[in-house]
Structure 1
């Protein structure tokens, strides 16, 4: 009883006072939050989604960015912050302003840590929120996730899910009518209900019905025939000509009438579809199916497949397999990803931002520091790369960035050899970039043999880790790597 609260509407303050004396409950006032979510009937205002923004901000401030790499921050965003957002998205359609606020916070955290400085972004957030094979980091756009969540709510309604929310909608809003037959300008329901009605045009392309006994399938508004939704073809006039009421199910259309001949050809096609379905009638309950991968319909909702259908696609990049591969080290892959996009803060890019900056390579002191010069046209870095990869690349060895990234991204080698080449390249890029930054900031300089030794040690440690993990596919990796060091 002490955990219960009574909420009243349409009652005067004096009546509320009398009820509070009569019932041993606390009297609550709207709006209120339940399980962390606001209970509102009107469109989200800034004050309604402010707790979500504040919750994300507090999480970010609680993490020590000093010990987090870019890859570490990305992992926290995808596993923690996105989970918080998904909890809200499962119940509401978040406003555009809310999504933009969340994405600005996450972008600032990714690129600058808890300082939350938005001007430090190296790559646009829109590009970050694309699949890895399209050059992104694999995060899902919240705007697209918002649309998928609304489609999932529609799926729960049309599939007649066994939940209190669905049953309440069927009793109070649908009232035995089809979800597809309601008008968009209805005055019934909350703001989220009206938003769901506007998503129906998108949902129509995903939802079909496999007819069994025909009792739960709307004749006019469900997609059960080869002609799709019959009302979209025939309209109100077709309801009159066919003699089948607007609320009729397929089972009701089978009984109480006989087949007619019509002047309009599409009406005769409807009659033929109805007869054909009647001949295939079974005692099974009608099944609602949803479009999944490869446009195959399934009796369940797939968030991933739906997202792939509605999202905005980009061109596939050729280097994705050279950056993202099994058993990679995340911080090495992130550095390699930035290098593939040419977004590392190399000397030539620093000169664009600040004409007074020193853009000369800190290793050779002869050329402007570009990505292609640093990896591995520079005499200093080329010797490191040659000591590391000459033994495994052999005749295919090159110091040209474009040829190298294309070579490590193809699948023409065996699993073990591909892993060693890719991991050695990423480790070398990361170690050289770390040494370059150290020299730029006045730290101690390290020699080529020492850096090469570090790279060799990192590769060996990774191979040993794979062995301890029990992945037997890489048993030959250590011997193969040792053979390249002689």
Structure 2
């Protein structure tokens, strides 16, 4: 593991720079994606990364995304597993580097199973596999750590088919595809109705990120901050109703937020009374499913509205 520590330092140094502390959530997300993308496209193709190294890098990226620093913190508004989901499953499509590394290991298992005419493959078959069935044999204990990991990659295959068929399903034009293997290992996620709001085209990235957090109801409203044992003002700062600030109050029981949203809806030519969050989201989903330009505009206008209401709240 110690040989990989320079790699960790190189990855984490990207998020330790002074300029990175000035990034918004969406900017931090793009930086995290670039760090993990570099690991995915280069390092994970060349080396088998120890699980501990992957855990350190993932922890650093997760902490930076939510706090803007590299100091250890347990603050995470949304679980990392949900962030790594595809956008159709209401995730942010961040690469799960642990799963990607497993897929990269399967790429090394592929030539062994196919008995490719390569020197290292011939060496593995001559000294370790011999005449045994690769899918049934025990992992040779006398083999080096690298080879044991390659052979143990059989356990990562989720298919109930034979080893040969499972690996063949992950090929493209006769070559093993890490991407296909990665998607297969991720599995299928149920599609949420409000994924259409996440997939809508047009929103500015920072608007999109705040809307995504709002859909998960994970914005740092007073009721959530209270769980962290932080004492803050309980009343809503946007209106004079002395109501306790909760998510359902800001979106859109608050008179100020309701007025802003009603103004947007009326400006776009819709006649609709603004109510609670869930009915509003269901109405939006039905509208943006159409191909009419006005309904398409509604999606990213709503993202901008949610963002600016939240910014106004934070600025009070």
TM-score computed with the length of structure 2 as normaliser: 0.86
Give the 5 Å matches for 1:45-444.
45=1, 47-62=2-17, 64-159=19-114, 167-175=118-126, 180=134, 183-186=137-140, 189-200=143-154, 202=156, 205=159, 290-292=168-170, 299-354=174-229, 356-366=231-241, 367-392=243-268, 394-410=270-286, 411-439=288-316
Partner SS, residue 168 of structure 2: strand
Q: Is the 8 A contact 1:71 1:330 kept in 2?
A: yes
Check 1:204–1:369 CA distance in 2 against 1; reply closer, same or farther (3 A cut): closer
Q: CA deviation at 1:419?
A: 2.2
Check 1:188–1:64 CA distance in 2 against 1; reply closer, same or farther (3 A cut): same
Give the superposed CA RMSD: 3.0
Distance 1:185 1:422 in 2: 53
Q: CA deviation at 1:117?
A: 4.4
Check 1:194–1:396 CA distance in 2 against 1; reply closer, same or farther (3 A cut): same
Between structure 1 and structure 2, the one with the greater Rg is 1
Distance 1:203 1:394 in 2: 51
Q: Is the 8 A contact 1:291 1:298 kept in 2?
A: no
Distance 2:211 2:32 in 1: 20
Check 1:159–1:390 CA distance in 2 against 1; reply closer, same or farther (3 A cut): farther
Distance 1:63 1:207 in 2: 51
Residue segments in structure 1 that go unaligned for 5+ positions in a row: 1-44, 209-220, 229-288, 440-486
Q: Is the 8 A contact 1:92 1:192 kept in 2?
A: no
Distance 2:308 2:75 in 1: 22
TM-score computed with the length of structure 1 as normaliser: 0.58
Distance 2:84 2:289 in 1: 30
Q: CA deviation at 1:343?
A: 0.9
Residue segments in structure 2 that go unaligned for 5+ positions in a row: none
Check 1:222–1:354 CA distance in 2 against 1; reply closer, same or farther (3 A cut): closer
